[in-house]
Amino acid sequence: MTLSRRHLLTAGSSLAALMATGLAGCATGATNPAARALAPGVLQVDLGGVLATAVSDGSLQRPVAEGFVRNASMAAVQAALRDAGLPTDQITFPYIPLLIETGGRRILIDAGNGEFSAPTTGKLLENLAKAGVAADSIDAVVFSHLHGDHINGLRNRAGALMFPKAQVYVPTPEWNWWMDDQRMNALPEAQQAAFRNVRRVFGPIAQQVRRFEPGVEVLPGLQSMPAFGHTAGHTAFVVQGRSGRKLLFWADASNVDALFVRNPDWAVQFDADPEAARQTRRRLADLAIRENMLLAGYHLSGSGIGRLAVRGSGYEFTPLSA
């Protein structure tokens, strides 16, 4: 998939609009807010009247394989892992949805793997409970995109919704891409699985799903941003506390940060449009640094919330800890 020039211009104009609003006003000081560990794998920061909580859904290990980074050799990938003090024969993928509490609402961004991946994943409900958050207290589930590791936790194998009182929100271009029957049917059978999974999760509630254009305020206090490239409608989000402190959730704008944050021009095999994803990664990274935003990401290391800084021709992510 290659995104159109219109998609990229839309992303640029939406960033310009964000810069013109209070969400991109004078940056606050670079000091970190107090972080609280509510339970193992659950870290909360107070942005000033807005709580942001990174909730682990577990992790998955896989061998380092040729082609995982499309445009870097195995030797270069292993050197980068070694430089970060990580094993060179395997990669650990964390999965970290984000819970936002603002304006009396609990908003969950992405829903984890649920019952559909390895036994080391699907921990979201368990970790929410440990943090004192009941699944039926979630008011909204907002999706960054519709890959299985983000949506499968919405519905279990029996078909029951895991967040029964939540309104569901999906980016319109993402919905249109995956729900296009003509696009799905034109693919080989093996490549149709992801499309069929989207239908499994959302088909029974399709009429109730609220779609939004990336760039709008999805809910009061939750601003969306186009972040296309990883998928056709991949979306990032910004929240801001009363003090002016901001947090950017960039979802899958980066995969393993030791590789793709430090080397932002590298392309992970999961990106549908590697060049658009590269541009998005640099655009969001530069925004986070320029505006002194905290950064959260679905596959970032440690707690999944931290600070970004320039490192050579790339960046360095430093996670917060309690």
Tokens 């990174």: give the residue: 54
The percent of the chain in helix, strand and coil, each rounded to the nearest 5, is 30, 25, 45
Q: Which of 280, 250, 275 is nearest to 2 (CA)?
A: 275
Angle CA 259–261–262, to nearest 5 = 65
Mean pLDDT on 216-221: 98
Tokens of 15: 């960033």
C-alpha to C-alpha distance for 315 and 46, rounded to whole angstroms: 25
Half-sphere exposure of 150 (CA within 13 A, CB side): 24
What is the average per-residue pLDDT within 55-60? 98
Q: Is residue 203 a contact partner of residue 161, using CB atoms and an 8 Å limit?
A: no
Alpha helices in 34-178 (DSSP H): 74-83, 124-130, 148-151, 172-178
Domains and CATH numbers, the chain: 5-23+33-319 (3.60.15.10)
Question: What does the mean pLDDT of the chain come to?
Answer: 92
What pLDDT is recorded for position 34? 82
Token pair 């040729």 is found at: 66
275 pLDDT higher than 50: yes
Report which of 266, 239, 254 is spatially closest to residue 298, judged by C-alpha positions.
254
Q: Are strands 235-240 and 246-249 parallel, antiparallel or unpaired?
A: antiparallel
The conformation of residue 116, written as its DSSP 8-state character, comes to S
How does residue 131 score in pLDDT terms, banded at 50, 70 and 90? Answer: very high
Mean pLDDT for 310-320 is: 97
Q: Is the pLDDT of residue 307 over 60?
A: yes
- Per residue in 230-274, pLDDT (tens digit) is 999 999 999 999 989 999 999 999 999 999 999 999 999 999 999
CA dist., res. 154 & res. 304, Å (int): 21
* Confidence bin at 88 (pLDDT 50/70/90): very high
Strands 59-63 and 51-55, sheet pairing: unpaired
Give the pLDDT confidence of 177-192 residue by residue, as tens digits.
Answer: 999 999 999 999 999 9
pTM over 0.95? The answer is no
Give the pair of three-digit tokens for residue 295. Answer: 């950064």
* The pLDDT of residue 10: 47
pLDDT tens per residue across span 96-127 = 999 999 999 999 999 999 999 999 999 999 99
User: What is d(CA 105, CA 108) in angstroms, rounded to the nearest whole number?
Assistant: 10
Average pLDDT for 30-48: 90
Residue 94 near residue 301 (C-beta atoms within 8 A):
yes
Chain centroid to CA 238: 12
The SS3 of residue 250 is coil
Q: Please classify residue 76 by burial: count the beta carbons closer than 10 Å to its beta carbon, then call 0-12 exposed, 13-18 middle and 19+ buried.
A: middle
